[in-house]
Structure 1
């Protein structure tokens, strides 16, 4: 059964040479895989070579996946300034789907930073507000009414991409105010779509350029306070967050170096995020928006929102190259953000 995310969110009920291309153990690729390197690919040895490897992998993977792509991939120089490695339809206005949940979180946390909200403020979770669309966790609760903190709602918003959490954020940051906050920060195309209920909205549009700009400025501490910045980036890097795309072929420590948010609906398969060096500097960004006719059986593709979809296989192929490319990035002036995986066994 296909579920309508738009209907659900509205008023009705996503410096070693060999390191750049990755080890065979980490990649576990087959010969016909999208991520399999061409026989004539020479491993790059510097930042320029890393740029070429990323661009080459992007062209090859997206061509094999099919569909229409609007993308920006950017890499920081030694001083921390980002430069395009890939720019395809960079200023095209696209449906963001759940990628815009990052913008929603930025707007809510902007109000926190201004003292208008606190993360421990509680919001009511009524039966009527819960979206039962098989995404997220609130629809699995089964016990309403209840209440959660704003912090809890946004953690669910950014990690498991819970759509009920969108409505909970709307209770404290209505659509018109949310859009005004984003416009004031310079994001005129990254906007949600208001509906008749002022506290609900569709997730709206963005451009690849605005999405990467938002991510760059977020990592640089230009959009939010240090505490709020860490909140968003820690959630997006969590191992609970999306792993079917860019992070699919990464180890657990590598996944913690990637802050990512995916979004999907109808034929759209989107993902955007940041890649950090081992010492915690944000040095790579990507905004990958794809839709249209992908390779393979359309009926299968339309019902496939997971790692087997051609667009997600392309993103997994690119993700391996993006993470490996950080070995050539050198020093940076970006403020570091570090995360470590510390599993527990209960208790």
Structure 2
């Protein structure tokens, strides 16, 4: 959306005239008494309105800084646009982009999911999130497919280093630039095979997710590698998926990122037929409780309430049936 509005104006709209101006409401559609869109229930516009209200309420209650882009029914209805072009430290949300780069090499025949990757004590050393460092039996070897599964589900930091061994940092960035993501880049270090997760914007992360489910970034098989992992039961459950049943969680492909005072999450909600119906990229920092990486952190708790409301808002809507790769992704 090209209109420039401040956050409280754009997200706290209360009049029918403003809603129509921002969301493109057709002329002649009138508001019901009290300003409710009675004639627009179970529509993308009504869902977007509800999502915007919940986001505004929960982000304000949590405090701190928020940047987000949320759309309903593909990208046709913008539910939330909150500083979407702000550059942010992506942290582990950028592991989706890293997986895209690695799988691009798989699609070009330069790598195979079945090839072995060596895990040494040096690679696994240090205090990091994940499971590889808990092994303690090095050296060992795992498949590249195993590495990507650990990267995208439990957000394993050693898995990110192993990705760097098969796709150096500069090559990852070049692949992402070639796909149109010049702002979604990993941060290079003195070692060409090691990187920090780097930066992105809510808009680029949102676009990456939209193009991923549309099947325009990778082959169908590689697309499903990412989506099936992000939708699996062991993918992140403390945020968007927290207040959901196991079946409902299987309809959410999500990736969280956290470090210091930042608590981020981005993903896609699918309808019951596994067609995408909502895409979100939500970045937050500056809330109280910087040392709390649990579900009780204010930003994570806010996202759990958002997630429940987001799913309820789109439950009656059909997703985009034109993306077979997304429909074929596994829920677990």
Kept in 2, the 8 Å contact 1:253–1:340? The answer is no
The reply to whether residue 45 of structure 1 matches residue 45 of structure 2 is no
Deviations 1:137-160 (A, max 9, x none): 001111000011111011000000
Counterpart among 234, 249, 254 of residue 255 in structure 1: 249
Residue among 119, 135, 142 paired with 1:148: 142
1:324 is matched with which residue?
312
Given that 1:282 and 1:334 are in contact with CA atoms closer than 8 Å, whether structure 2 keeps it comes out as no
Equivalent position of 1:74 in the other structure: 71
Q: 1:194 to 1:235 in 2, by over 3 A?
A: same
SS at match of 1:328: coil
Higher helix share: 2
**Deviations, residues 271-314 of structure 1 (Å, cap 9, x unaligned):** 0000000001011011110011x2xxx4xx11111110000111
Change (3 A) 1:103 1:341: closer
| Residue pair 1:256, 1:339 contacting (<8 A) in 2 also | no
TM-score by length of 2: 0.85
Structure 1 counterpart of 2:172: 178
5 Å-filtered alignment, 1:265-280, equals 265-280=259-274
Which of 279, 302, 306 is equivalent to 2:290?
Answer: 302
User: TM-score, structure 1 length as denominator?
Assistant: 0.81
Cα distance in 1 between the residues matched to 2:300 and 2:37: 25
Distance 1:61 1:96 in 2: 21
**Structure 2 counterpart SS, 1:50:** helix
Mapped contact 2:233–2:246 kept (Cα < 8 A)? yes
Shift in CA distance, 274/124, structure 1 to aligned 2, threshold 3 Å:
same
CA distance in 1, matches of 2:276, 2:189: 36
Confirm or deny: 8 A CA contact 2:115 2:143 kept in the other structure. yes
Q: Report whether the alignment pairs 1:119 with 2:113.
A: yes
- Per the alignment, residue 245 of structure 1 pairs with 239
Q: Which residue is 1:233 aligned to?
A: 227
Residue 41 and residue 267 in structure 1: after superposition, are their counterparts in 2 closer, same or farther (change >3 A)? farther
User: Which residue is 2:26 aligned to?
Assistant: none
Equivalent residue, structure 2, for 1:139: 133
Q: What is the number of equivalent residue pairs in this alignment?
A: 294
Deviations along 1:61-98, one digit per CA (max 9) or x if unpaired, are: 0000001000001112xxx4443210001000000000
Q: Match of 1:217?
A: 211
1:46: how far off?
A: 2.0
Q: SS in structure 1 opposite 2:57? A: helix
Q: Is this contact kept in 1: 2:214–2:323, CA < 8 A? A: yes
In 2 relative to 1, CA 302–107 (structure 1 residues): closer, same or farther, beyond 3 Å?
Answer: same
* Counterpart position of 1:21: none
Name the Cα RMSD after superposition. Answer: 1.8
Q: 1:335 pairs with 313, 323, 326, which one?
A: 323
Q: How does 1:7-46 map to 2 (within 5 A)?
A: 45-46=41-42
Find 1:54's aligned residue among 51, 73, 93: 51
User: Would you say the 8 A contact 2:270–2:319 is kept in 1?
Assistant: no
Pick the aligned partner of 2:81 from 84, 87, 93. 87
Distance 1:264 1:331, change over 3 A: closer
Which runs of 5 or more structure 2 residues have no equivalent in the other structure?
A: 1-34
